[in-house]
Amino acid sequence: MAFEASPSRTRIRMADTADIVIIGAGPAGMAAAIVARRHGATVVLLDEQPAAGGQIYRGIMSAPLQRLNVLGPDYEAGAELAREFALSGARHITGAAVWQVTGDRHVHYLRNGCVRSIRAGRVLLCTGAMERPFPMPGWTLPGVMTGGAAQILLKGSGMAPSQPVVLAGCGPLLYLLGWQYLRAGVPIAAIVDTTGRSDYRHALRHARGALAGWRYLKKGLGLMAALKSSGVPFYKGATDLHVLGDKRARGLGFVSGGRTRKVESPLILLHQGVVPNTQFSWSLRARHRWDESQLCWAPVTNEWGELDVAGIFVAGDSGGIGGARVAALQGELAGLAAVTQLGKLAAHTRDALAAPLRAEVRKNLFIRPFLDALYRPKRANRIPADRTVVCRCEEVTAGDIRGYVSLGCIGPNQVKSFGRCGMGPCQGRQCGLTVTEIIADARGVAPGETGYFRIRPPIKPITLGELANEA
Amino acid sequence: MKPDSTALPLGSDVIIIGGGFHGTSSAFHLSRRGAKVTLLEAEYCARHASGVNAGGVRTLGRHHAELPMARASLDLWHRLPELVGDDGSFVASGQLQIAETPQELDELRRNVAELNASGFTHEVMVDAQQAREIAPCLAHHVLGGTWVRDDGHAIPYRAVTAFRAAAQRLGAQFHEATPASSIERVGSEWRVTTPRGVFAAPWLVNAAGAWSGEFAAQAGDVVPMKPGGLMLMITQRVPHFIDPVLGATGRPLSFKQFANGTVLIGGGLHCSADVVRRHGEVDFKKLASSAKTVTDLFPHLIGINIVRAWAGVEAFMPDEIPVISLSRHAPQLVHAFGFSAHGFELGPIGGQIVAELVLDGHSTLPIEPFSVDRFAPTTVH
C-alpha cells in the first residue's frame, strides 16, 4: 500500500544537497565553513539565529559601538571571523532549527514553519555549550535565571536588569557578566562565589598550565580585580545556597565566612560553568565518555573530531569545553578532515595544514586543568538534597530519583520511563547531568557506568501541523 | 570466558530469556506457583517493545483467536494491585474505534455481529452522537464506531516493573545486562551461555521478543518471525480534551491523552529495526502521515509541539498473532513471543499461560492457534 503512487502528490521536491552541512554558526562552525570553502567544498551552515556568531559572538555584526564597549575586546574578536565567514561563499541559512540528524547524514530542519531536508556528504556538529544545571532549593522560582541567559539578553538586544541583581556560582562567565554589568551601569546586589580557598589550593597544582596560558589568567584576574574594586559585595566560598521566596524569588540565602547571610533581590542569576551540548551526538547513538575533570559527558571522537558514526564530526564546545579560540581551531581541523574524506584535499596536505593548528589547540588548552580545578562545581551544588527539584519540566525531586533507584531503576532511562524525569520539553537538557550524578552517587558507581538518557528527535520542537504538511 | 560461579544461581527450575513483559510476567506466575526462576535480560527489563510501547490496554478490535486470553488478561489488569501490589498506572478509560466512512462503519458492524455470535459482548456499536459524547472534540465527519468500556491504558515501564518487583519478592532471580548467546540441551537440562557464565535449568522459556527467532531456531523450531520497529510520538502538555484511547479504522492511529496533558500518538507505525545494534530508527516521513491523521481528527492540535518520537523493537509474525507454545522439537521448552505489536495487554495473562505450560503441560485457555509449528510447510510435492 505504501508503495503505490499517489496521484494527489504532485509536488516534486528537489533533494537539497551539500558536500558539508554545518550546524551552528559559532566560532567552530564559521571556521569550519571558511576552511571547507577554501578547499572547494559546497557548504551549507544552518543556524537558528538571524546572524552568525553563535552564543559567544551573538549579534557581533549588528552590535552598536556602545554595546561593543560594554561587552569588551574578546567579544569584538569574533567580528573578524564573522566577516571572513560572510565572504567565504558558504550558504548560511539563518532561522533554521535543526530537529534531526540521521546516521546516513540527512539533516532535517524547520524554517518559517516549513520542514526542509538536506542530504550532506559530511556533517559537522558545532552546537556549542549549554549551562550546567544548578539545582538548589527555589531554583525553579520566577525571578531566577541562568547567567548565560542574562548574558544572551545583553548581547542580543542590550537588555539588562534595572533592579539590583545577585550573581551566584562560579566560573569565568559569571565574573565576565558581572564586569559587563558594571560597565553597563547595572546595579549588583552581591556576587556570591562558591569558589573557596581549597579550590585555589587544588588549582595551584596546575599552576604551570595556568602560567603557560597567562593571557587567559591575566584576563580572569583583571575581571576579578575590577569587580572587587567596584565596591560590589563579594562573598567567597559560599555554601548552602538557596533561593528565598514562595511564589517568586526574594533573595538568596547562603553561608559564607562561617556566617549565615541573606541578600535581598528579585533577580537571581545562577551559573556554575558550561558543559558540551551533546543532544545531537547522543541522538545519533554515538559513544560518549564521562569527563571527570569537567564533570560532564563528551562524545568520543578521533583526532579530527569524527564520531564513531562515520562522516559526522563534532567541533568546538559540543565536543568538550575549550573556549572560543579552541573551538575555531577544532572547526578548521574537522573541516580539513571532511574535505579530505570528500577527495578535495590530499591527506599529506591535510596533515601539514593541521600541524600548526594542533599546536595552537594545545597552547590554548594549557589553562584548562587549572580552570577545571579552580571552578569545579561543588558536590552539593551538583548532587542536591532529597527535596530539591531536579527535573523542572516534570517536577521530579532528587529524593524521587533516589527512590526509583531503590526500586531497581538503575540508569537514567529507567528513571525516565518510571518517573518521567527528563521526559519533558527540554529532553533532559536541564537535568541530565544531575540525574547521572545522583544515580551514580546512590549506587556507589562512577557516573560513566550509569549511562545517559536516550535523546530522541525532534531535537528542536516541531508542531503536529508542520509535520502533517509533509504527509 | 570462565563462568563466574558466584553469579550462577544453583537449583533453578526454569530459565527465562527476556525481561520484557511476558518474560517478567512468566517469572512472576512461575514463582507464585513455587518454581525457582532465573531470568536473563540482555539489557534491562522492559528496555524494548515492552517498556516503550503506547501502553494501550485494548481488547477492542482483537484477532478473535486472541480474545479469550485478552479478556482474561483484562480481568487481571483490573485487579493488578491485589495481584502484584501496584496498578502499573492502569486507567480504565475505555477505548473507542472510530469510523470515518460508511464502509468503515459497516466493517465495524459486521465484526461486532460476529463477536456477538461467538458470545463476546464487550464491543458495542456507538453512533456519531454517542461517539462525540465519549470524545467531545472529535471532528464532525466521524460517523460512529465501536466502544469497549473496560479497556484502558497503563504506563508500560511501570507495569513491567510491578511484575518484576513482585517476582523478585517471591524469590525470582533477575540478571540484567546478561545477554544469552546460545542455548543447548545437555542431558536433562538446558544450558544458556552468557558473557557472565553458563546458566542451567531443566526448563527454558524463550520470551526474547525480537530476538526470539534465533533461540527458537537453535531448538529446532524454525519460525517466520521478523523483527521490526514501531514508532510513537508524544506532544507537549495540552488542556484535557479526551478520556478514552482512540483508534481509527481506515488508517493507522492509536491516540490517547495522559493525565498530565501530553498526547501520545501511534498505532501501527512501522519502521526499520536493527537487532544487532538493538534499536529502531525513527522515520519522520511516516510519522508525518500520523500527524496528518491526528490534525484531521482534532484540528485544534495543529499548533502543538511534538516533544519526542521514538521506536521500539518488536517481533512480528506473518499472521500477526503470537507464538505461545511448547516446543515441538525440544523437551521442556516454552516459547512466548511474536506478539506483533499488541502484546502489552496480554502481559498479565501471558505469564500465567507460560506457567501452566511449564507446570501442568497444558493451558486452561485455548492457545492452539498460537502453536509454534503452525507455519511448518505442508508436504512439498
Give CA A224 to chain center in angstroms: 23
Chain B CB contacts of A413 below 8 Å? 44, 47
Task: Please state, in angstroms and rounded to a whole number, the distance separating the CA atoms of residues A362 and B193.
Answer: 48
Task: Give B8's pLDDT tier (boundaries 50, 70, 90).
Answer: low
The pLDDT assigned to B338 comes to: 98
Domain layout of chain A by residue ranges: 2-130+275-345, 133-272, 383-450
Asked if the model's pLDDT at residue B379 lies above 70, the reply is no
Domain A383-450 part of CATH 1.10.10.1100: yes
CATH 3.50.50.60 describes domain A2-130+275-345: yes
- ipTM passes above 0.95: no
Three-class SS of chain B: CCCCHHHCCCCCCEEEECCCHHHHHHHHHHHHCCCCEEEECCCCCCCCHHHHCCCEECCCCCCHHHHHHHHHHHHHHHCHHHHHCCCCCCECCCEEEEECCHHHHHHHHHHHHHHHHCCCCCCEEEEHHHHHHHCCCCCCCCCEEEEECCCEECCHHHHHHHHHHHHHHCCCEEECCCCCCEEEEECCEEEEEECCEEEEECEEEECCHHHHHHHHHHCCCCCCCEEEEEEEEEECCCCCCCCCEEEECCCCCEEEECCCCCEEEECCCEECEECCCCEECCCHHHHHHHHHHHHHHCHHHCCCEEEEEEEEEEEECCCCCCEEEECCCCCCEEEEECCCCCCCCCHHHHHHHHHHHHHCCCCCCCCHHHCCCCCCCCCCC
Contact A467 B282 (CB under 8 A): no
Distance between CA atoms of A469 and B127, rounded to whole angstroms?
Answer: 31
Q: What is the pLDDT of residue A15?
A: 66
Which residues are paired to A216 by β-bridges? none
**CA distance linking residue A330 with residue B283, whole number of Å:** 32
Chain A CB within 8 Å of residue B162 CB = no
| Average pLDDT for A422-428 | 91
| pLDDT tier at B378, thresholds 50, 70, 90 | low
Domains of chain B plus CATH, in order, are 14-53+157-224+319-370 (3.50.50.60), 92-150+226-316 (3.30.9.10)
Residues of B in contact with A470 (CB under 8 A): 284-285, 288, 291
Give the residue from chain A lying closest to B278, CA to CA: A285
Q: What percent of chain A has pLDDT over 70?
A: 97
Long-range contacts of B179-185 (CB under 8 A, 24+ apart): B179/B40, B179/B42, B179/B43, B180/B17, B180/B40, B180/B42, B180/B208, B180/B215, B182/B218, B183/B17, B183/B215, B183/B218, B183/B219, B184/B218, B185/B219, B185/B330, B185/B331
Q: Is the peptide bond before B9 cis (omega within 30 degrees of 0)?
A: no
**What average pLDDT does this structure show over B314-320?**
96
Task: Kindly report, residue by residue over A353-411, the tens digit of the pLDDT.
Answer: 999 999 999 999 998 999 999 999 999 999 999 999 999 999 999 999 999 999 999 99
Using a CB-CB distance cutoff of 8 angstroms, which residues of chain A are in contact with residue B305? 425, 461-463
Q: B300 at the A interface (CB within 8 A)?
A: no
Nearest Cβ partner for A456 among B168, B301, B309? B309
Q: Which of A409, A456, A463 sits opposite B304 (nearest CB)?
A: A463
Q: Contact B301/A420, CB-based, under 8 Å?
A: no
pLDDT-derived band at B347 (thresholds 50, 70, 90) equals: very high
Mutate to test the interface with B, among A404, A415, A417 (most CBs of B within 10 A): A417
Are the Cβ atoms of A465 and B303 closer than 8 angstroms? yes
pLDDT in tens, B263-302: 999 988 899 999 888 898 888 888 999 999 999 989 999 9
Distances (CA, A) of A300 to A102, A106, A278, B193: 18, 21, 11, 31
Q: How many CB atoms lie within 10 A of CB B185?
A: 18
Question: Is it the case that residue A101 has pLDDT exceeding 70?
Answer: yes
CA dihedral B139, B142, B147, B150 (to 10 degrees): -10
| Domain A133-272 fold | FAD/NAD(P)-binding domain (3.50.50)
Strand partners, B280: B273
Identical fold for domains A2-130+275-345 and A383-450, yes or no, is: no
Amino acid symbol at A141: L
**What pLDDT sits at residue A268?**
97
A204-217 residue pLDDT tens: 888 777 777 777 77
Nearest CA in chain B to A411: B44
Q: What does the pLDDT look like over A427-450, one tens digit per residue?
A: 999 999 999 999 999 999 999 999
> E-strand spans in A25-164?
43-46, 91-93, 97-101, 106-111, 114-125, 129-131, 144-146
B44 touches chain A (CB under 8 A): yes
Edge-to-edge strand order for the sheet containing B203-206? B173-175, B37-40, B14-17, B203-206, B333-337, B323-326
pLDDT digits (tens, 9 = 90+) for A29-62: 999 999 999 999 999 999 999 999 888 888 887 7
- Per-residue pLDDT for B238 more than 60? yes
Residues of A in contact with B311 (CB under 8 A): none
What is the per-residue pLDDT for B1?
39
Inter-chain CB proximity A417 and B51 less than 8 Å: yes
Residue A12 has pLDDT above 60, yes or no: no
CB A166 within 8 A of CB A143: no
- Whether residue A20 contacts residue A104, with contact meaning beta carbons closer than 8 Å, is answered with no
Three-state DSSP state, A186? coil
Query: pTM score, two decimals?
Result: 0.92
**Angle at the Cα of B322 from the Cα atoms of B353 and B257, rounded to 5 degrees:** 95
| B358 touching A (Cβ < 8 Å) | no
